[in-house]
Amino acid sequence: MNTSLPYVSMLTFQHLYLSVVGTLIGAAIGFALAVWARRRPRLANALIGIAEVIQTIPGIALLAFLLLAFGLGNGTLVVGLALYAILPVMQNTYEGLEGVDPVYMGIGKGMGMTRGQIFRQVELPLAFPVILTGLRVALVTSIGVATIGVFVGADGLGLLIYRGLQLIDTQVILAGAIPAGLLAILIEVILTLLERRLSRAASAR
């Protein structure tokens, strides 16, 4: 089994790429749903309830169902990652937008801003740190779920971990497990620091 640096780097890149693509698709859906459900608490609760059911289904079980629908390959994994990313982004976008003090919207209106301008220039920037938290949770979850993507024929670091477990070869296991673990930790730490900086900037304004 190949554990050379170029090969491991390529798998790490694939891993990150698949996770980011899946997360962004799910985040776009979650964001759109949250904006749609804004100021309609009943609709929002129903949507969050459905997304929570999806979230509760264990990763390998969800991927197994998707395998039957979409077959082997990276596409199946990306669909699964997108499904998992919907809830954290939708919930945080909804709560972030609801949490904006209506006084700011009133000020915007008083200054003659249109509804679209208020949404883009007032509400979104104020809700952004909360939305980013949802995005971080979604991306870190994706990195984790992507490791089991190997079982539905997807690329990424899960390939090395699974081969290593089959061969009981510690070197192969570690060549996959260490970069995958570091990737999750790094993304968690970097995005957490970014969030802190943003919310400090927001409160200083």
Partner 1 sequence: MNVLADFWNNYGGQIMDALGPHLFLTFVSLALGIIVAVPLGIFLTRNPRLASPIIAVVSIFQTIPSLVFFALILPFLGIGTQPALVVLFVYSLLPILRNTYIGVRSIDPALIDASRGQGMTSWEILYMVELPLSAPLIVAGIRLAAIYLVSWATIAALIGAGGLGDLIFSGIDNYDTNLLLAGAVPTALLALLIGFLLGMVRRLVTPRGLKVGVAR
Residue ranges in contact with partner 1 by CB under 8 A: 53, 56-62, 64-65, 67-68, 140, 143-148, 151-152, 158, 161-162, 164-165, 168, 170, 173-174, 176-178, 180-181, 184-185, 187-189
Q: Which is nearer to partner 1, 39 or 205 (CB)?
A: 39
Q: How far is the CB of 22 from partner 1 (least distance, A)?
A: 14
Q: How far is the CB of 183 from partner 1 (least distance, A)?
A: 9
Q: How far is the CB of 189 from partner 1 (least distance, A)?
A: 8
Q: Which two tokens stand for residue 154?
A: 């997807």
> How many C-beta atoms lie closer than 10 Å to residue 71's C-beta?
11
Q: Which is nearer to partner 1, 111 or 189 (CB)?
A: 189
> How many C-beta atoms lie closer than 10 Å to residue 12's C-beta?
18
Q: How far is the CB of 61 from partner 1 (least distance, A)?
A: 4
Q: Which is nearer to partner 1, 121 or 166 (CB)?
A: 166
Q: How far apart are CA 162 and CA 193, in angstroms?
A: 32
Q: How far is the CB of 69 from partner 1 (least distance, A)?
A: 11
61: Cβ contacts below 8 Å, ≥ 6 apart: none
Q: How far is the CB of 98 from partner 1 (least distance, A)?
A: 11
Q: How far apart are CA 44 and CA 97, in angstroms?
A: 12
Q: Which is nearer to partner 1, 66 or 122 (CB)?
A: 66
Q: Are 146 and 26 in contact (CB under 8 A)?
A: no
Q: Which is nearer to partner 1, 2 or 171 (CB)?
A: 171
Q: Which is nearer to partner 1, 117 or 170 (CB)?
A: 170
